[in-house]
Amino acid sequence: LCGDLKMQVPFPFSLLCLQVIKCKAAVLWEANKLFSIEEVQVAPPKEHEVRIKIVATGICRSDDHVVTGTLVMPFPIILGHEAAGVVESVGQGVTSIKPGDKVIPLFVPQCGECKNCLNTKGNLCSKTDLGTSAGLMPDGTTRFTCKGKAVYHFLGTSTFTEYTVVHESAVAKIDSAAPLEKVCLIGCGFSTGYGAALQTAKVEPGSTCAVFGLGGVGLPVVMGCKAAGASRIIAVDINKDKFAKAKELGATDCINPKDFSKPIHEVLMEMTGQGVDYSFEVIGRTDTMTAALACCHYNYGVSVIVGVPPAAQNITFDPMLLFTGRSWKGSIFGGWKSKDAVPKLVADYMKKKFVLDPLITHTLPWTKINEGFDLLRTGK
């Protein structure tokens, strides 16, 4: 390690350290194929970049959207965006992070300079790769090579690899005592769901809520609604096996749309009188997005889209749903300003203000990533 050397050198000390790293990564060569465990070359971090040894990573439905082609990205690519690790090296000009720091990569960066970062209402930094499908670092190049071919990044993070490189604006330093295999969920799923309730919707004490989808993001929405003091939290999912955990985390009612002959929004209207105060779509389907909008109170209800919308699909709905006063909102990363919020969320976890263990269903060696995606797709 560089820090062990005790000699003077006539050139920048970091040049002794920053070498190409050969490691294993799960490469997706094309859509609708299995991940392939390959040896990749990870280039040194450039100016204002950080190279991270990934310790733990979660699997998110957004990753699977790339596999199935629902989210269009260039290939070959290294996916993954929900992780935690340890800084291996830093590029020139990096001041907020140093080697050895425990960190969480941020798929929504926080540059602190763009209009969104400077506005208290926004959190979607203009430096994000989300929506651009570029698959490259901010300078327009990649840090990954495999079999002589350039490999694309995913959302500026790419965590399905032993080492990755991210921009300094896309990484947050966290408590050195934090268990990385737990807090990696704060990199996406937990923060996205929890913040959708607390930050985006701003759920109020005594309110009624409906949550469509009880996966790794939907359950944190339930947790956020409970933390906000909601009096009734109705969990909606076609997989009844998820109901027990939803109730454990705060759901007061659990319903399966398959158990009813009428549209689910009508069922929720009947259950609540004139509809719920807040509804959340955490699946990524256009039909459930409109159902979530329709089930909230006709005048002051707020519906939040949390699930990633499918590419090349449009929504057709009755505009009267909005004309009468409902609000329809979207939520990226729970509305949190990432570099500011992630360390605080980790600190709250360490203070036992919320739990993460119930959100972890399986722990696998990452070489079994294809089995992990099978578990995701089968609702397990």
Query: Which tens digits make up the pLDDT trace of 242-254?
Result: 999 999 999 999 9
Closest alpha carbon to 380 in 371, 147, 175: 371
Is 111 catalytic? The answer is no
Whether residue 9 is predicted with pLDDT greater than 80 in this model: the reply is no
- The CATH code of the domain that includes 289 is 3.40.50.720
359 shares a domain with 279: no
**Residue with token string 């003091």:** 229
pLDDT for the residue numbered 297: 96
- pLDDT at residue 40 greater than cutoff 90: yes
Instruction: Clarify whether 184 is annotated catalytic.
Output: no
* Rounded CA separation 228/230 (Å): 6
Out of 188, 254, 295, 296, pick the active-site residue. 188
Integer Cα distance of 232 and 276 in angstroms? 9
Pair (310, 205) in one structural domain: yes
Whether 196 is in a domain gets the answer: no
371: pLDDT strictly greater than 60? yes
- Judged by average pLDDT, the poorest of 14-18, 101-105, 228-232 is 14-18
359's CB contacts (< 8 A; 6+ apart) are 185, 189, 190, 216, 219, 220
Alpha helices (H) along 93-235: 115-118, 180-183, 189-195, 218-227
Using CA atoms, how far apart are residues 133 and 74, in angstroms rounded to an integer?
Answer: 7
**Domain presence at residue 268:** yes
The verdict on 171 and 296 lying in the same domain is no
Query: What average pLDDT does the chain have?
Result: 92
User: Which of these, 310, 316, 327, 312, lies nearest to 290 by C-alpha position?
Assistant: 316
Note whether residue 377 is domain-resident: no
Distances (CA, A) of 235 to 3, 232, 294: 52, 10, 16
State whether 229 and 115 are in the same domain. no
Look up residue 28 and give its two tokens: 């997706």
Banded pLDDT at 312 (limits 50, 70, 90)? low
Mean pLDDT over 103-116 rounds to 95
Residue 10 has pLDDT above 90, yes or no: no
Amino acid occupying residue 267: V
Residue 195 lies in a domain: no
The pLDDT tens digits of the residues spanning 168-204 come to 999 999 999 999 999 999 999 999 999 999 999 999 9
The verdict on 303 and 219 lying in the same domain is yes
Per-residue pLDDT band for 4 (boundaries 50, 70, 90) equals very low
**One domain, residues 31 and 107:** yes
Determine the Cα–Cα distance for residues 254 and 213; give it in Å rounded to an integer.
11
Residue 2 has pLDDT above 70, yes or no: no
Residue 16 lies in a domain: no
**Burial degree of 221 (CB within 10 A; 0-12, 13-18, 19+):** buried
Residues 129 and 240 placed together within one structural domain of the fold: no
How far is Cα 242 from Cα 244, in angstroms, rounded to an integer?
A: 6
pLDDT, one tens digit per residue, over 254-296 is 999 999 999 999 999 999 999 999 999 999 888 999 999 999 9
Same domain, 150 and 179: yes
DSSP calls for 348-373 = HHHTTSS--GGG------GGGHHHHH
Residue 264 CA: distances (Å) to CA of 175, 205, 214, 269: 43, 25, 16, 9
pLDDT of residue 17: 55
Mean pLDDT of 126-144: 86
Judge if 291 and 145 occupy the same domain. Answer: no
77/60 Cα distance (integer angstroms): 16
Kindly name the residue from 62, 191, 279, 303 that is annotated as catalytic: 62
- Distance separating the N- and C-terminal Cα atoms of the chain: 42
Query: Is the domain of 176 the same as that of 219?
Result: no
Q: Known catalytic residue: 81? A: yes
Query: Domain limits at 77?
Result: 21-189+336-372
- Report how far residue 326's alpha carbon sits from residue 80's, in angstroms, rounded to the nearest whole number: 35
Tens-digit pLDDT profile for residues 58-105: 999 889 989 998 888 999 999 999 999 999 999 999 999 999 999 999
Do 341 and 322 share a domain, yes or no?
no
The amino acid at 312: A
Average the pLDDT over 32-39 and give the result.
Answer: 96
pLDDT above 90 as % of the chain = 83
Looking at 65, 167, 265, 297, which residue is catalytic?
A: 65
